[in-house]
Structure 1
Amino acid sequence: MPALLRIVCDNTGMRFAAVARVTDGTWTACAVEDGIDFGLLPGGQLDVHTTLCKEARAARQPVVFDHASEDPTYRDHHTPRIYGIESYISVPIIRPDGEYFGNLCAIDPRPNMVSGVKTVAMFQSFAELIGRQLALEQRREATEVALLDARQTAELREQFIAVLGHDLRNPLASVGAIGEILVRRPEPDVAKYGDRLRANTRRMSKLIDDVLDLARGRMGSGIGVCIEAVAQLEAALRDVVAELRDSHPQWHIRETYRMRGHVECDLGRVQQLLSNLVGNAFAYGDPARPVVVEATLDAEWLEIGVRNWGEPIPPANLEKIFEPYWRPAQSKPGGGLGLGLHICSQIVKAHGGTLHVSSSRESGTCFTARLPARRGSTAIA
C-alpha cells in the first residue's frame, strides 16, 4: 500500500495521499504518504464530519476539485477551510461483493489538476485494486483460521483416540482372561464359546493396537522403533505365520525363507509388518489359492514379500491403499479400520525402507517391504 500511495503522489503532484477506513462515525487512516507534514500516521483518526469522504461514501462517487478557493461548490465548504487544502480527490473503495470499505484520497495545500479524466480513472483503478486485495486478505485470514481450527480439532481427536485406546486395554484384558478360563472348561459348548470369545478379544486387541499406533504417529514424528541386532529373525517370522495359520485354518500359507546373518531392526515391528500384510492377504485374497510369504536377508537388505491371488487392485487405488482409514468400496462389512497397510508403510518408513505394491490378474497382488539390514544403509526405491 505505501508503494501504491507513492505512485499516486508521483503521478498527480499531490503531496499527501491516504487509504482510510470510513464508517458512519469514524475516519481511520490505514496507510499514509505524507509530504506536507500533515501529521497523520497509520491508525490516526479524523472527525469524519470534517472530511469529504463522508459525501463520497454516501454517493459512492468520487469527490474532486482542483482549486477550492475558486471552486463554486467548495469555496465555502468547511473541509478545505479546516484543513487548509486547495486540491482534493477522494474515491470510494468497494470490495468485489459490493461492501463499502473506505476511500483512497489525496490532498494538497496548493492547487493541482486532479479532476482530469485520466487522473480520476487512475484513482478508481487503484481503489478497485485495493478492494480486491482486501477481499483476498479477508479470504486468506478466514482460510488460516479454518486451518488452525481444523488442526486443533485433529489434535484433540488424536488425543482422544489415544486415551480411549489405552483405557480399553484393561477391560479387554479381563474379557480375554474370561475367554481363557472358558476354553479350559470340560463342557464342549462352553469351551467353544470361550474360544470364540478369545478370538474376538485378539481381534479387538489388534484394532486397539492399530488405533494407538496411528495416534502415536500423528501426534509425534511417526511410529517409534527400537533398533537392535536380531540374529534369529527367520524363527520370529515363522512364529507369526504359525499363529496366523492357527487362527485361520481355512487358509493355506506357503513360506520361503533365505536368511543369512543378522539384521538391525525392531523385531516386534517387523513381526507386526508381516502380520498386517498376511492379514490383508486373507481379507482380499482367494481362499482357494495359497498366500505366499517370502523373506530374504543378505548383507545389505531385508526383503519381505506377501502375495495373494484375489481380485487385482485397480490402478486408481494403488496410490490410496496406504492412506489411513481408506478401504476399497468392495470391502466386506465388519472388516478392519483401514489402518493395517498405513501402519505397514509407517513401520517401513521408520526403518528407512520402502513398501511397494504390484497387482495384476496374472501375477496376483504382491506387497514387498525392503528394509536396510544395517543402520546407515540408504533404501533405494
Structure 2
Amino acid sequence: MWLKSLELLSRRLLMCATHHRNTVRVTSPTSLFEPTSKVLILRHDKIGDAIITLPLLRILRMHYPAMQIDILLSQHNASMSARLKQYTNHCWVYEKSPLKILALLRALRREDYDVILDPMDNASTTSSLIIQLLRCKAIGIEKSNAHVYTYLVPMLERNSVHIIERIAQTLLPFGINPKQESLELEYPLEKSLLRQAQQNLGEKTAPYRFGINISAGDRWRYWGRENFIDFIKQFKARHHDAEIILFSAPSEADEAHAIAEAVAIKAAPAVPSLDEFAAMLVQCDLLLTPDTSVVHIAAAWKVPQVVLYSRAPGLPMVWLPYHAPHRALETSSDFVSAISVESALHAAEALWQECIPKIFCPTHA
C-alpha cells in the first residue's frame, strides 16, 4: 500500500516540476485574506529560525485573532512548539521518513488551507514541494523558487537588512505594514523556570556573571578547546569581578567539563529542555557564543553578547542579535576557530566596559 502511495507521490512531484503559477507581486500592505482564513506557516528548519519567526506570528495573531494559524516545524525545532502555541492553533512536525511524509501530506491536505506562508529567504526544495503538493495559494519572498508562490513580496537587501525585517515582508498580503509594527524578539520564560535556573547555577561568586556557550550544533562553528581555555585564562586575570560559567548542549557536556577543569571554573548542569537551558542563559550579564539559537534567546532578553560567525565572501549578512547590545566577530574561513583569542578578548572587553556598570570601591573614593 505504501509503495503505491510513494508512486503517486512521485507522479505528483514530476507534475510539480513543470508547473508554474501566475504570481502577483505585493509591494505594499494589501488585505487579500478573510479574518477567519486558514494559514500554514512553513518553519521546518532549526531552532533559531523558529525564534526569529515569533515577531511575525505575534503580529499576525494580533491583527487576525480569529484566523487559524498553524505552523510546520521539523524534528530539529519541534522543541519550540511550547513557545509558539500562544500565537498558533496547531504545530505540525515534518519528519524525513517516506511513510510519515505521506501521512503528513494527507493530514495537511485535509485541512484545506487558504494560504501557505513561507518566510524563508533562501529557496527551499522541501518548501517548494510542500506548496505544490498541497495545491493552495502561497506567499513567499522573491527568490529563485518564485514560480511556486501565488503572492511574491520583495526581497530586501540581504547585506544590510536584518533577517527579521526581511521575513516580515510576508505580512504585506495580510494588509500589515511591518514598518509600523514592533519586530522585537521574545522568548518568555515562566517564573518557575527562572527560579529553577537560579538554583541550578547557585549563588553568584562575583558581582557579575559571564556565560560562555561552547555549543553550536556544527563542528565548523566550534571555536576550539584551546581557544576557549586561553580566552578564559586571560579574561579571568583581568576581571576578578566576573564569575565565568560554561554552557553546552548535553551532548557536549564532557567537553565543557574538560574546559572548566582546565581553568577552574564552573560548568552549568545539563538540563533536558531548551527552556531550562534558556532560563540559565538569561541569568548572565554577558555572553560569548558562536552563531546559534543562543544568540536570539539572549537578544530577546537584551543580554549583551560577543558572537562568533563564519561568513564566506558573497554570503548575506549574518543573523546578528536583533536590537540588543553585541559585538560580532566574523571570519571568511570555513571554521569559526580561525577567529583569534585576541580579537574575542578585545570585543568582550569593549562590551564589558559599555554594558557592565563600574563597581564602586570605597578604597578608591
Higher relative contact order (CA 8 A, sep 6+): 2
Structure with the higher strand share, 1 or 2: 1
For the superposition of Structure 1 and Structure 2, which TM-score range results when normalised by the shorter chain? Answer: under 0.3
TM-score scaled by structure 2?
0.20
TM-score scaled by structure 1?
0.19
Larger Rg: 1
